[in-house]
Amino acid sequence: MIVFDLKCAPGAHVFEAWFGSSADYDDQKARGLVSCPLCGSDDVGKAPMAPAVPAKANTRRDPAVSAPAAAPAPAEPEAIKAMLAAAAALQRQMLEKSESVGDRFVDEARAIHLGEAEARAIHGRATPADAAALVEEGIAIAPLPFPVIEPGQEN
């Protein structure tokens, strides 16, 4: 196997590609099988690269001490809190305009879909299997992002 650094002409994207041999690269390039994975251009050529030089057998190989991985930048706590508060407020508004049907959700959703019950916004509980069955039947449902405390169950 041989590895080449390749570079596309239009986007100047540099990427690594492995071939069975240098002749395999030439053959695939001639047949138009080599293209840039980023932009799809087939105007690709070899980029300058450093040769792979093996270490001498008589040299001591101490493992390199790597710098500790940088922690990802913390998300802005205030921005996250504001986003969650806005999503919770939106859900609260939606719940105020819908009817809680509790464990009857699956049956009510089917009845509304089939025209056997008045069309209205509802919310309630369904098992994952029941929710999947509703979706397969073409009934549009969506999970709520935050838990819902049913009326009469508040502390």
- Render pLDDT for 37-67 as a digit per residue (tens, 0 to 9): 888 888 899 888 777 677 676 666 666 667 7
* Tens-digit pLDDT profile for residues 141-150: 999 888 887 7
Total number of domains constituting the chain? 2
Residue 9 lies in a domain: yes
Average pLDDT of the residues of the chain: 85
Of 111, 95, 108, 85, residue with least CA distance to 144: 95
Residue 110 lies in a domain: yes
Residue 151 lies in a domain: no
Residue 11 lies in a domain: yes
Q: Which of 29, 46, 63 is the last residue of a domain?
A: 46
Per-residue confidence band for 124, with pLDDT thresholds at 50, 70 and 90: very high
pLDDT, residue 75, reads 63
Number of helices (H), then strands (E), in the chain = 4, 5
Residue 134 in this model has a pLDDT that exceeds 90: yes
Residue 25 in this model has a pLDDT that exceeds 70: yes
Of 152, 115, 131, 133, residue with least CA distance to 123: 131
Higher pLDDT, 48 or 95: 95
Sequence-ordered list of residues with C-beta below 8 angstroms from that of 73, at least 6 positions apart, any chain: none
Query: Structural domain of residue 23, as residue ranges?
Result: 2-46
pLDDT, residue 103, reads 92
The DSSP call for residue 14 is E
State the average pLDDT over residues 82-90: 91
